[in-house]
Amino acid sequence: MIPSLVFDLETIPDADGLRRLNGSDPALSDVEVVEAALQARRESHGNDFLPLHLHKVAVIGCVFRDDSGFRVKTLGQADDPEATLISGFFKTIERYTPRLISWNGSGFDLPVLHYRSLIHGLQAPRYWDTGEDDRDFKYNNYINRYHSRHIDLMNVLAKYNARANAPLDEMAKLCGFPGKLGMDGGQVWKAWTDGRADEVRGYCETDVVNTWLVYCRYCLLKGELDQAAYAAELELVRGILQASDAPHWKEYMAVWNGA
């Protein structure tokens, strides 16, 4: 089995970066700096979604599936520096060369990781290889949009047509999976500043499991899994999540079992 790494980011505004770019008053708190930037963005663009290079990585959620089984986790600890989280993600790629799986990873998660890695001066040679070090990567690498080392499910299912994009939450629910529970990306900043980091980390974990389950349905669609293998994969995931005492998995499984 080719190892699979499903990934998803939760981000918060980069207060230090905003200070550097906007020349903010040093006496202002991070929250004050960010709120001023968000308000300016609303006035100029009609929404408060900041440019991707000003999204600071707070959480990286992962599902890792290989011959040893199924694991879901968030990398590092809630108070780890951003550079540590990003380095941990790319070290996993260096070690296992997994297939990356995401929902809108090409449009958001990977560009954020690119910019933030550049800002921190990190290295990720395996990820960026396009054949210079490994000839196999010339024809199948992580960077090319149409190669299979990274499968952005949203892009693939929409046939690379942005007008056809669908939200993960709705697709997961339509396929019979729980989808998002009680939080979305727009609520992460407030939850983080309110000290609810564990809740944000749990939310990110449920998102990568939703992505994995939809990916399994996609593999069934393609014929990579037959009905028996697909059912077995879902039962494996169910069993692992059911055995967890974590509150977000109890809530998730209550929805899934009731679906």
Residues 6+ apart with CB under 8 A from 116: 53, 55, 56, 57, 82, 86
List per-residue pLDDT tens for the chain, 259 residues long: 899 999 999 999 999 999 999 988 888 999 999 999 999 999 999 999 999 999 999 999 999 999 999 999 999 998 999 999 999 999 999 999 999 999 999 999 999 999 999 999 999 999 999 999 999 999 999 999 999 999 999 999 999 999 999 999 999 999 999 999 877 778 899 999 999 999 999 999 999 999 999 999 999 999 999 999 999 999 999 999 999 999 999 999 999 998 5
* Residue 31: strand pairing partners: none
Q: Tell me, what's the pLDDT at 25?
A: 86
DSSP labels, 135-195: GGGGTS-SSSTTSTTEEEHHHHHTTT-GGG---HHHHHHHTTS----S--GGGHHHHHHTT
pLDDT at residue 185, as a whole number:
79
Q: Which domains does the chain have, with CATH numbers?
A: 4-258 (3.30.420.10)
Global confidence as pTM: 0.95
For residue 259, the model assigns a pLDDT of 57
Q: How far is CA 198 from the centre of its chain?
A: 16
Looking at residue 258, its pLDDT comes to: 83
